Amino acid sequence: MENPFSLAGKNIIVTGASSGIGRQTAVSCSQMGARVVLIARNTEQLNMTLSMMQSPESHLVYSLDLADLDGMETVIKDIVGKTGKLHGLVNAAGISTTLPLKLISNEKLEEFFKTNVYSAIQMSRLFTKQVNVSTEGGSVIFFSSVMGIVGESGKTLYSLTKGALVSATKSLALEFASKKIRFNAVSPGVVVTPMSQNAVYSKDEESLNRIIALHPLGLGMPVDISNACVYLLSDASRWVTGSNLVIDGGYTAR
């Protein structure tokens, strides 16, 4: 029997592949047979991810600042020239912060929206072009967060960007359903990665324990999220679009 979760024969772009969840997603996709295109800024860390993947020679690495929206079109053209048409896009690149409202300057808003939202929209715009996407359709994943659903003091800026992605998922799912291009969001709770390890709540034991206690199943590991990405990229989820898959160890169950 064919494995419905197999990614064999699929070309998949993973942004944020130099660290944390994006890195693990690239590794998991390679283990499921995909050819993966790894994107982030840090070349050394991207190559580290490559060395962790199955069949490292069959994947591609692009060092790119996703906040530079103009640079992407040439890169996607180059990618498709090398891999052929694309089947999946995982927008895992993102930045986080904890800031009170008085410190959320317009510059900060621009930086966060560029990195977390505009880049994912620009990548999606390019992915969905007829010349770039497989004739069989494709699957796009946006990385939201439980902070796109519920709040936490100081999380306004991050939440703004993550909520925007959940909203975009639904309308894009409807816009592209006839082309068999599916759009879904994943919303993790706190996952152990450099992002969460550098967060203010990880600076002292008391704050960290408070965060851990908010997750009935404890904190997540990158593979808990990458397995969900494999599902959403595979044909096993062919009837799933416009959804927001919450993977949070029970954080939002209360």
Residue 106 beta carbon to ligand NAP: minimum distance, rounded to whole angstroms: 18
**Binding test (CB under 6 A) with ligand NAP, winner from 28, 83, 124, 196:** 196
Q: How far is the CB of 174 from ligand NAP (least distance, A)?
A: 23
Q: Is residue 65 at the binding interface for ligand NAP, with CB under 6 A as the rule?
A: yes
d(CA 182, CA 168): 12
Q: Does residue 194 belong to the site contacting ligand NAP (CB under 6 A)?
A: yes
- Tokens at 78, concatenated: 């180059």
62 is catalytic: no
By CB under 6 A, tell whether 95 contacts ligand NAP: yes
* Residue 250 found at the interface with ligand NAP (CB under 6 A): no
Interface map 123-162 toward ligand NAP (x if CB under 6 A): --------------------x-x-----------------
What angle (nearest 5°) sits at the alpha carbon of residue 165, between those of residues 161 and 168? Answer: 135
In the complex, least distance from residue 135 CB atom to ligand NAP, rounded to whole angstroms: 29
Nearer to ligand NAP, 67 or 181 (CB): 67
Q: Which stretch binds ligand NAP (CB under 6 A): 50-58, 61-69, 173-181, 239-247?
A: 61-69
User: Can residue 41 be called a binding residue for ligand NAP (CB under 6 A)?
Assistant: yes
Exactly one of 62, 118, 158, 231 is catalytic; name it.
158
Sheet holding 88-91, edge to edge: 60-63, 35-40, 11-15, 88-91, 138-143, 181-188, 244-247
Q: Choose which of 83, 115, 169, 237 interacts with ligand NAP (CB under 6 A).
A: 115
Minimal distance, residue 191 CB to ligand NAP, in Å: 4
Residue from 47, 54, 96, 98 touching ligand NAP (CB under 6 A): that is 96
Q: 99-116: b or e for each residue (b if 16 or more CB lie within 10 Å)?
A: beeeebeeeeeeebbbbb
Partnered with residue 191 across adjacent β-strands are 220
Binding site for ligand NAP (CB under 6 A): 16, 18-22, 40-42, 45, 65-67, 92-96, 115, 143, 145, 188, 190-191, 193-196
Catalytic machinery residues:
158
